[in-house]
Structure 1
Amino acid sequence: MVQRFIAASFALLLGGAAWAQAPQSSPSISYTRDIQPIFTQKCVACHACNDAACQLNLGSAEGVQRGASKVPVYQGERSEAVPTTRLFYDAQGEEAWRKKGFYSVLDAQGSQAALMARMLELGHKTPLTPNAKLPDEIVLGLERNNMCPLPHEFDAYAGAHPKEGMPLAVTGLTDQEHQTLQRWLAAGAPVEYQPIQPSASEASQIAEWEALLNRPGASEALVGRWLYEHLFLAHIYFTGGEPGHFFQWVRSRTPSGQPVDLIATRRPNDPPGSDFYYRLMPVQGVIVHKTHITYPMGPQKLKRVKQLFYSGDWQTTSLPGYGPQRRANPFETFEAIPAVARYQFMLDNAEYFVRTFIRGPVCRGQIATDVIRDNFWALFQEPAHDRYVTDAVYRGQATPLLAMPGQIDDVGSVLSLWRAYRNKRNDYETLRREAYAEMPPPSWSTLWAGNDNALLSIFRHFDSASVSKGLIGDVPTTMWLFDYPLLERTYYQLAVNFDVFGNVSHQLQTRLYFDLIRNGAEVNFLRLMPAEKRGAILDDWYQNSGKVKMWLDYTDIDTDTPSGLQLDKHHAERDFGLKLLQRTASLNAAPDPINRCTGAYCSRPQMNAQFRDVEQSLSRLVSRPAAGLKVIGQLPEATLLRIEGQGGQRQVYSLLRNRAHSNVAFLLGEAYRYQPGLDTLTLYPGVLSSYPNFMFNIPASEVAAFVDAMEAARDDTGKFERIVERWGIRRSHPQFWQYFHDLSTFIEETDPVEAGVLDMNRYENL
């Protein structure tokens, strides 16, 4: 399964000249041919990104040789920031990682086998009961402690956790895979590197883009910096490029044509410390979905960038520095670049930018995601109606108020810093409210409709979230309306300036300001609603304790100036959503007859008869509150349904639980704000989460029976458990990995650029 990812793991073990070394060989075993594919199949789903257990990243030879660390990346209560440990960035080579505290899992310890060998043996000799629930003593998910035994601590670990060898709490290695890995480890775990080489087409386009970002001149350098800071997270792919080839922007001490000498600063807008050049270097290691935020580049994109940034008559003669003030306020830093160019570039690529701060790639985020609701739609303000873009006087008044916190991480000053930035933000909101009150009432023309990035759907899955083009699901409770100041601040606060290795002060300031960002997006949207209904709508969004937050931290809203939209005053939000769907039908990338069924047929018309019947049956589960479909209370946030049809056909659907909240205005106590009777389900074709929580495999002929059983289960745990036993794919299922990786294969078949190995750290023990 997932041959593409195995192939990618071969190809993407590059590193440029800095990583290459003479291949080590074994007469009977090859790391690239024999070992990495096993890691890709059975290990990468847990051992990738910042939340890899013990920072053991098994997606590349470099990660395998780096080994493990007892220091967790995610430790929100720490008082001091920790050194960054980004694979391929912060150290090069095994010895450099040893100096940073990582220890080998490959080296034998005297008469003792390598730590990895012993962990694998422990897992292999204690197999799970096929498709049974796991023992309660095995702790999974984000609640699991970061134990990370050193080699001399393994015996104590095995004694205390005899059922917790590797792979952890999942159907393990086959006998052949186990033997192959043990032979490799016994031979000294030799690895060979195979650096990727751009194709001729890719190399030519890389040269053009590097030349553009490194143009001489102050104005050109400012644009290069802005583009780099907005694209540093992207997995770039090129028109006519090789499948599986992705690249990322970095700062290098060496110019184009020479090996990259990476400048590894904590943030992309930290001082580089020397002269530098913007360079594109290949993405290394196995592609994993949760960090795979793609961005296309090609001749048309190059032409567009030149048109936006290089065709005007603006210029600057001096360049800003890289200090905390410049990080805190990108509007001041880049004020010489026309605001319309900056905003239009972000609009052209809105899905990418929203993904950077909603989906990741921090890889763990309940403290961040609990500031947003479980599903909402995102819209964008037309530049011609954006006062910041069109009015230089207003822009000059607003810019000093748009600074963001998080640059000073002194724990003792966190409250005073927070108040200062909150007050600036609220002063800006007051300025904005008064300025927009003088403008014509907002209408449908206020909304940007330039391409299919204009309509986005966001789904939160407790501690992760996803972003998709188009309007998916029933009309949600809330919507966000981004203007340029809000979109840029959100991106800088949560992507550019956020430090996952930072201390509690930095992370708290970031989280608190994100709360203000959400409020600002909601207030922007409220101006589209009837003036006399805005207060009631806001009260519904901020029920109970939310009213305290409204009094403490938010500014008053405009309840006087009219909207130019003619909406049903009793159900204004829903009426807006339904009219938006009608008006944007040709732009909407996600027509959704399953969740928004308006007639007798609740399926996609392009499907064959058996899958139209499947979707018709599944539609009975959606757009109903939990008060009428009790089984919702037993479902996790992101369930995947794999439906097997005749002749080897299959379809995959995401069944998403949308938890209702009285408000999402506080950092702690989320469970106290749940409104479980109002939870709903959204069902949509495809994989809408990087982190499946569970999976059902259902023959198409049994889908109606599955739906009947779900409706009958209500809140009876016994009935739901029988559903799981009949159709569920538990972690212990003999074909778990076949079904789990088939989700990635489905992405590969339907949207190949987005394909990557999914994460199973959140896969639940149902």
Structure 2
Amino acid sequence: MKTRQLTRYCLLIVITAIVVAGCASGYTTDYDSLYGEAEVKERNIGWSEFQGRAQQGHVSFIKDVKPILDSRCIACHACNDAPCQQKLTSYEGIDRGASKTLVYDGARLTAEEPTRLFVDAKTTEEWRDKGFYPVLNERIESAEADLMGSLLFRVLNQKFINPLSDHGGSPQPLPKTFDFSLDRSQECPTIEEFDYYEEQYPLWGMPFGLPGLTTQEFSTISRWLAEGAKFDPLPPISKPAQEAVSQWESFLNGASLKQQLTSRYIYEHLFLGHLHFEKGAEREFFKLVRSYTPPGEAIDEIATVRPYDDPETDRVYYRLRPIKSTIVDKTHLVYTLNDQRMERFKTLFLEPDYNVESLPSYDPEKASNPFITFAAIPANSRYQFLLDEAQYFIGGFIKSPVCRGQIALNVIDDQFWALFLDPEKDSISNDTAFIAQQAKNLKLPAASEDTLRPTDIWFRFARAQKNYREAKNNYLDAQYENGNENSLNSLWNGSNQHLKDANNNPIANDNAALTIFRHFDSATVVKGLIGSQPKTVWVLDYPIFERIHYLLVAGFNVYGNVGHQLSTRLYMDYLRMESENNFLDFLPSSQRKLIRDSWYKGAGSNMISYFDKPLIGEERETRISYKTADSKTELLGYIHEHLASLKLSDPINRCTDKPCAPKNASSVEQRIFPEIQRLASITGTQLKPIPDLAYLRVIPSGEKESPVSYSLIHNRAHTNISYIFNEDARLEPENDTLTVTSRYIGSYPNFYFNVHENQLSEFIDQLKSIETPEDESAFIQRFGVRRADTKFWAINDWFNEDYLKQEPINAGWFDLNRYENR
């Protein structure tokens, strides 16, 4: 039965492919006449129907189809930047279909209506009303209509009959007709327009600019489509997760005003996260949402653009909604919930002695300012909450919708370290009254979204920032009457009594030191001090940390207009410079301006004049005694010693004590370690062939040994990062550096290299000897994995599987939207 059915469908697919190829010259197929008028179908089936279909040999969406979509399609079709908004990470996204409207549009004059899957429409009919069109057949039910009337089948079939050429096993760059730029013009044909699309762009079948599906993969999806494209029922959440959801929803929905304010604060900081229960399954995640309905009832999510927008209801309930979509790395921001976390929240927010007489307003001017909304909560509690999971909150900036594209990211250097003032010692971060007094000076641009004059925003907020800086200086002058300010003990070293080891001894929190990498149009934050000594270092206090979150995460509207997007980018300049200025305060006062000026070569005086005053004349002096003229390098050495309990050594990029190879490294890693170190030592223009982010796989010489992987991060030097445009003119390629790490860094690999162990030395030698475009092409041809390479998917699968093996909770599928055509 199953064999005959499979043969019938394979024959149908072949016949349909021939028919489709023959139809491509006709631009106006009348699908209504052929298959009737389109009408949304119910595709979800229950368990009994699913079991019956399984017994009859039908294709299962979850078991058979979804793994193919996950490994071959969501590399481009996930998140807000999915081409044509076509998300293939869940059956809701497939059924919703596609749209011709862009989410990311840096030129729109008015805000766009949001189109967040699971949030802004509840049914497929509602998505049709919002302009989304189907990629599945919505006409009569027949095998022919289910294929011919399906965009999903047509684009896969287009690649099947027009495969990319690998030039006889020697893949070449794809022709210029393929546009892989981030902001490329998108072609989003409906099924009625598809014949013309196929005629004009015969090689643009899916996956776009990559090898097509195998015959078996194509046959499986085609059979599923021909059988009506039914969606299996999802398995229920695990019992431990059900118990945890009940426990946490009970906690978050307590009746007291103090609890309601606490829950609002927690929600506005965790709404973007993928919440994971420590006792639950490794790949089971939840989102914290606001609902009209209380625990025990079905979630009715309150759909607002921002987490602090007015819910327009008397009582908000905080609920935990299971995440149904496949996990992709670019949006995967994990926050773990367990019993210790709940006790920590109680300690920080409920046990301190403060009163909440009334709940704060949702008025935009006030709600967008956390220093007004949460003024009742002790500042130290809020700061320690952020520090407990600092990587998560900085990661919110990295993985939120704001962090997309070159203009959004040229506000930060390509590699820098982030440290924090100690929550027990920093006066500003502990003074709730002072912060509340300065709330108006600490306001953020989100409340002024409709402006189309971002330069006005710049100067208006410049005045507020200047007022805050002056108030802060006067405050600190009073605190340090002897003129001495920071010591090494002013920096948080991860000490926190709530973290215990198995013997109940306090352990250091490894969030105390972070490294941020920019990869031109994406970025990454990781724990530890990774890479060589960076140009700049950020030192954050509570007001800076909180503003970063409310500027770039809670307050950013990806659907907003150009004024909102530019003013957000401009305001971030202040936060960067203030963080850098905090670091400079640890250096001798006589050297601060000289060092700061080296970071801003060529920057206009207006850009940094706001920070001139604290850097000239008689300033508060650091309490650190310096012994050399290179105070910055000396300071970073002292910081490394101060944070010694965090084990921050980076033997590949910063080896000071030999032997450098980690003792826990595999035999393969031990053997190739000297060559990996040599690779990391390459600097300057020799790095030109290495893109912003590449992954290197080394195949060991031993038959039973497993390959090892490394991330290659090209850190591009700049004279300054003070301007939005004309970044190329401010690059200093002679000062570029390379960071090499065995961790997986980034979500958007730009290129893969595949090298055998006995070729690794030649890989490095050939890289260093490149002088001409022909040399570079030969290097890529020998060691690179081009888009048309028939081995591409096998190598891509290996990297994804290896990442999941290394990080079973934190890993997600990599995105290929930035994979280069080299």
TM-score by length of 1: 0.93
Partner of 1:122: 158
Matched, 1:689 2:746: yes
Query: What are the superposed Cα offsets for residues 256-305 of structure 1, whole Å, 9 maximum, x if unpaired?
Result: 11111111111111011223200111112100011000011101111111
Partner of 2:724: 667
SS at match of 1:280: strand
Q: Report the Cα distance in structure 2 between the residues aligned to 1:205 and 1:308, rounded to whole angstroms.
A: 21
Deviation at residue 762 of structure 1 after TM alignment:
0.5
SS at match of 1:399: coil
Partner of 1:405: 445
SS at match of 1:206: helix
Q: Is the 8 A contact 2:452 2:562 kept in 1?
A: no
Picking from 63, 67, 73, the partner of 1:33 is: 63
Q: Is the 8 A contact 1:614 1:704 kept in 2?
A: no
SS at match of 2:697: strand
Matched, 1:102 2:132: yes
Picking from 649, 659, 681, the partner of 1:591 is: 649
Picking from 21, 45, 54, the partner of 2:84 is: 54
Q: Is the 8 A contact 2:379 2:431 kept in 1?
A: no
Partner of 1:460: 518
Cα RMSD (Å) of the superposition? 2.0
Matched, 1:326 2:366: yes
Q: Is the 8 A contact 2:449 2:561 kept in 1?
A: yes
Picking from 322, 326, 329, the partner of 1:282 is: 322
Matched, 1:711 2:755: no
Partner of 1:387: 427
Matched, 1:642 2:686: no
Q: Report the Cα distance in structure 2 between the residues aligned to 1:481 and 1:423, rounded to whole angstroms.
A: 23
Q: Report the Cα distance in structure 1 between the residues aligned to 2:288 and 2:721, rounded to whole angstroms.
A: 35
Partner of 1:581: 640
Partner of 2:276: 237
Q: Report the Cα distance in structure 1 between the residues aligned to 2:78 and 2:520, rounded to whole angstroms.
A: 20
Q: Is the 8 A contact 2:420 2:541 kept in 1?
A: yes
Partner of 1:751: 807
Further displaced range: 470-479 or 176-185: 176-185
Give the letter aligned to residue 722 of structure 1.
A
Q: Report the Cα distance in structure 2 between the residues aligned to 1:363 and 1:417, rounded to whole angstroms.
A: 20
Partner of 1:226: 265
Partner of 2:536: 478
Report matched runs for 1:145-160 at 5 Å: 145-160=185-200
SS at match of 1:156: helix
Partner of 1:350: 390
Q: Is the 8 A contact 1:594 1:604 kept in 2?
A: no
Query: What are the superposed Cα offsets for residues 140-175 of structure 1, whole Å, 9 maximum, x if unpaired?
Result: 130421211122221222222121111101111001
Q: Report the Cα distance in structure 2 between the residues aligned to 1:127 and 1:679, rounded to whole angstroms.
A: 38
Report matched runs for 1:487-502 at 5 Å: 487-502=545-560
Report matched runs for 1:58-457 at 5 Å: 58-107=88-137, 112-130=148-166, 131-194=171-234, 196-274=235-313, 275-362=315-402, 364-392=404-432, 394-438=434-478, 439=480, 440-450=484-494, 451-457=509-515
Picking from 669, 675, 687, the partner of 1:632 is: 687
Query: What are the superposed Cα offsets for residues 302-335 of structure 1, whole Å, 9 maximum, x if unpaired?
Result: 1111111111211111111111112331101100
SS at match of 2:714: strand
Q: Is the 8 A contact 2:277 2:336 kept in 1?
A: yes
Q: Report the Cα distance in structure 2 between the residues aligned to 1:600 and 1:385, rounded to whole angstroms.
A: 36
Q: Report the Cα distance in structure 1 between the residues aligned to 2:110 and 2:432, rounded to whole angstroms.
A: 41
Partner of 1:4: none
Deviation at residue 253 of structure 1 after TM alignment:
1.1
Q: Is the 8 A contact 1:405 1:418 kept in 2?
A: no
Q: Is the 8 A contact 1:748 1:755 kept in 2?
A: yes
Partner of 1:7: none
Deviation at residue 362 of structure 1 after TM alignment:
4.7
Query: What are the superposed Cα offsets for residues 30-70 of structure 1, whole Å, 9 maximum, x if unpaired?
Result: 21222111111110000000000000000111101100000
TM-score by length of 2: 0.87
Report matched runs for 1:551-570 at 5 Å: 551=609, 554=611, 556-559=613-616, 560-568=619-627, 570=629
Query: What are the superposed Cα offsets for residues 417-475 of structure 1, whole Å, 9 maximum, x if unpaired?
Result: 43222211121112222322342420011101121100000000001100100000111
Give the letter aligned to residue 447 of structure 1.
L
Query: What are the superposed Cα offsets for residues 514-566 of structure 1, whole Å, 9 maximum, x if unpaired?
Result: 11111111111110111000000111111113544224x65532442211122
**Distance 1:21-1:437 versus aligned 2 partners, 3 A rule:** farther
Q: Report the Cα distance in structure 2 between the residues aligned to 1:219 and 1:19, rounded to whole angstroms.
A: 45
Q: Report the Cα distance in structure 2 between the residues aligned to 1:686 and 1:396, rounded to whole angstroms.
A: 41
Deviation at residue 623 of structure 1 after TM alignment:
4.0
Give the letter aligned to residue 36 of structure 1.
K
Q: Report the Cα distance in structure 2 between the residues aligned to 1:398 and 1:186, rounded to whole angstroms.
A: 64
Q: Is the 8 A contact 2:378 2:432 kept in 1?
A: no
Partner of 1:524: 582
Q: Is the 8 A contact 1:250 1:278 kept in 2?
A: yes
Q: Report the Cα distance in structure 2 between the residues aligned to 1:217 and 1:574, rounded to whole angstroms.
A: 51
Q: Report the Cα distance in structure 2 between the residues aligned to 1:615 and 1:601, rounded to whole angstroms.
A: 11
Q: Report the Cα distance in structure 2 between the residues aligned to 1:20 and 1:182, rounded to whole angstroms.
A: 18
Q: Is the 8 A contact 2:403 2:409 kept in 1?
A: no
**Distance 1:88-1:404 versus aligned 2 partners, 3 A rule:** same
Q: Is the 8 A contact 1:631 1:720 kept in 2?
A: no
Q: Report the Cα distance in structure 2 between the residues aligned to 1:308 and 1:740, rounded to whole angstroms.
A: 44
SS at match of 1:356: helix
Q: Is the 8 A contact 1:429 1:555 kept in 2?
A: no
Query: What are the superposed Cα offsets for residues 606-638 of structure 1, whole Å, 9 maximum, x if unpaired?
Result: 224432231210211224431xxx331122100
Deviation at residue 19 of structure 1 after TM alignment:
11
Q: Is the 8 A contact 1:474 1:623 kept in 2?
A: no
Query: Structure 1 stretches of 5 or more lacking a match?
Result: 1-17
Q: Report the Cα distance in structure 2 between the residues aligned to 1:304 and 1:361, rounded to whole angstroms.
A: 29
**Distance 1:735-1:648 versus aligned 2 partners, 3 A rule:** farther
| Aligned residues with identical type, % of pairs | 39
Partner of 1:14: none
Q: How many residues get paired?
A: 742
Further displaced range: 214-223 or 564-573: 564-573
Deviation at residue 605 of structure 1 after TM alignment:
2.7
Q: Report the Cα distance in structure 1 between the residues aligned to 2:763 and 2:452, rounded to whole angstroms.
A: 55
SS at match of 1:538: helix
Over alpha carbons, which structure has the higher Rg? 2
Deviation at residue 20 of structure 1 after TM alignment:
7.1
Further displaced range: 562-571 or 326-335: 562-571
Q: Is the 8 A contact 1:290 1:361 kept in 2?
A: no
Q: Is the 8 A contact 2:420 2:512 kept in 1?
A: yes
Further displaced range: 33-42 or 394-403: 394-403
Q: Is the 8 A contact 2:43 2:229 kept in 1?
A: no
